[in-house]
Structure 1
């Protein structure tokens, strides 16, 4: 353990640079993707298609409603991305040191999964506030003024522990999703470098690899994201809570059974088309921003 801590201390400068690069990636990610995320959440909580959802938001709430709940993610997503990327780089150096050797798929899955686990503790309360604000129709039974007010009210009325409603399923989504994200990103990037017989990835290679990694990430984690959204938008307290927790599942099992029983397995992919479109360009931009920032900071 002492050797591990000593090794981490010796690499503290690089860890700091990875955090900065990850933060920059998060800012680029949230600015480019939040409107599509709002559409995705609305579709997950209704039976409307993408056109009807967009039209309804535009007609009833205005164009700026696509950015509902963005303030808190704009602050927190850079922290989240910094956590993810710095953790992945940390475990990458743990496995291969300072060599330029690539991680094996197995090592990459472990590094990505551990990064996702760390991210869960940030993303769960952040997405709870974001989802509730996104579902709030402007000036109609308005309960929360902003993300901070939303979290304060949830803590007061429902309990501090309720800020982590959906934590179990969030961990499932993040561990599986980030494991797939980093594996696919590296596999595609290495394949493009090999096919083109280049020494390193071009800008286009990074964009394509990041986009396909994002698709893999959200495809494997999308059913969990559906259940997470439903659980987090359930405002019931105690006995009025619609989905009762069983042991450590936080209501995941009861919600999954009810949704599939009523609506079939397809309900677990409502809003998937919007999510995949968002996942491609958001992660393409995110990886490109991270790699560019890392290269600049390491000069």
Structure 2
């Protein structure tokens, strides 16, 4: 690997880290609602579900726990992990691109972009899994009076104490099922839309609109594909025990909760996906511009 290639990957790493923190701050309240909806118990016969939808869930969280304490519960873990997760995502995407390029300036086909995106998903799994294990356990807890975990660090300590290091990586298989194809679609959607929208404006008057729109829709495309496996992942990571055969869990969910359960909280997911990923890509592109100015590619 040449010096220029290493420098470009370092830029991806830095820009990905910066954009990750910004994305977490914007998206965490919506993510809290998503996990609450995904992990709420099945209502008994004649009982109403705990939450009728995303808006009802958000309202009840705020009433019961307060705005910041409720919607930003567990935010310390994703803020701390958002840096390495997004850094790993964009770094792995850079690796995926370079593996298919002869020169750094080579333009990838959309098939190659999709492959690079899948490599990004694969490279992110080992960083994402422990972070989401902690986040899901904290978010899934009902009111503050019944809290088992005081925060992200306390949750991590208790997982390590009771389950060992293996407990932090509970759900790795289903996280891989979610991340690899969805990440391919994520970057494919972004690159295709950005290129298409950029053609509408001249290079001299290039605005951030193509990046914002493409980033937002890329996030929506990602979650449209990823949500069914994310539902299973949330169950695997929050339920006790280790016997979580994915096929059996899938058939059990379909049998007892119906096929639509795989898109429970979909509205909250999409509402979160657009602004979060618009911010992520905008921050990434702006940071890359600064880095390219400071360390120009020759």
TM-score normalised by L of structure 1: 0.89
Q: 1:130 to 1:200 in 2, by over 3 A?
A: farther
Choose which of 56, 63, 84 in structure 2 pairs with 1:59: 63
The question of 1:148 aligning with 2:153 is answered: yes
For structure 1, list consecutive stretches of 5 or more residues without a partner in the other structure: 1-6, 246-250
The question of 1:253 aligning with 2:258 is answered: no
Count of aligned residue pairs for this structure pair = 282
For structure 2, list consecutive stretches of 5 or more residues without a partner in the other structure: 41-48, 294-298
Choose which of 285, 289, 293 in structure 2 pairs with 1:295: 289
Query: Is the Cα–Cα contact under 8 Å of residues 189 and 201 in structure 1 kept in the other structure?
Result: no
Q: 1:8 to 1:162 in 2, by over 3 A?
A: farther
Q: Secondary structure at the match of 1:96?
A: coil
C-alpha distance in 1 between matches for 2:150 and 2:90: 32
Deviations 1:256-275 (A, max 9, x none): 11111111110000001110
The question of 1:177 aligning with 2:182 is answered: yes
What is aligned with 1:269?
A: 263
C-alpha distance in 2 between matches for 1:105 and 1:253: 32
Q: 1:226 to 1:197 in 2, by over 3 A?
A: same
Q: Secondary structure at the match of 2:108?
A: coil
Query: Is the Cα–Cα contact under 8 Å of residues 181 and 213 in structure 1 kept in the other structure?
Result: yes
C-alpha distance in 2 between matches for 1:190 and 1:289: 18
Q: 1:274 to 1:11 in 2, by over 3 A?
A: same
Q: 1:192 to 1:139 in 2, by over 3 A?
A: closer
C-alpha distance in 1 between matches for 2:248 and 2:157: 27
C-alpha distance in 2 between matches for 1:135 and 1:73: 15
Runs of 4+ in 1 over 3 A off after TM superposition: 97-101, 195-201
C-alpha distance in 2 between matches for 1:200 and 1:91: 30
Choose which of 207, 211, 214 in structure 1 pairs with 2:216: 211
Deviations 1:86-134 (A, max 9, x none): 2212322332344544311221111111111111101111001001111
Query: Is the Cα–Cα contact under 8 Å of residues 36 and 274 in structure 1 kept in the other structure?
Result: yes
Identify which range, 137-146 or 176-185, moves more after superposition: 137-146
C-alpha distance in 1 between matches for 2:149 and 2:278: 33
C-alpha distance in 1 between matches for 2:81 and 2:182: 19
Identify which range, 129-138 or 190-199, moves more after superposition: 190-199
Q: How does 1:1-299 map to 2 (within 5 A)?
A: 7=1, 11-46=5-40, 47=49, 48=51, 49-64=53-68, 65-196=70-201, 198=203, 202-234=207-239, 236-237=240-241, 244-245=243-244, 251-299=245-293
Identify which range, 110-119 or 87-96, moves more after superposition: 87-96
Deviations 1:20-50 (A, max 9, x none): 1111110110011101100111111224211
Query: Is the Cα–Cα contact under 8 Å of residues 77 and 131 in structure 2 kept in the other structure?
Result: yes
Query: Is the Cα–Cα contact under 8 Å of residues 40 and 274 in structure 1 kept in the other structure?
Result: yes
Q: 1:8 to 1:60 in 2, by over 3 A?
A: farther
C-alpha distance in 1 between matches for 2:187 and 2:206: 15
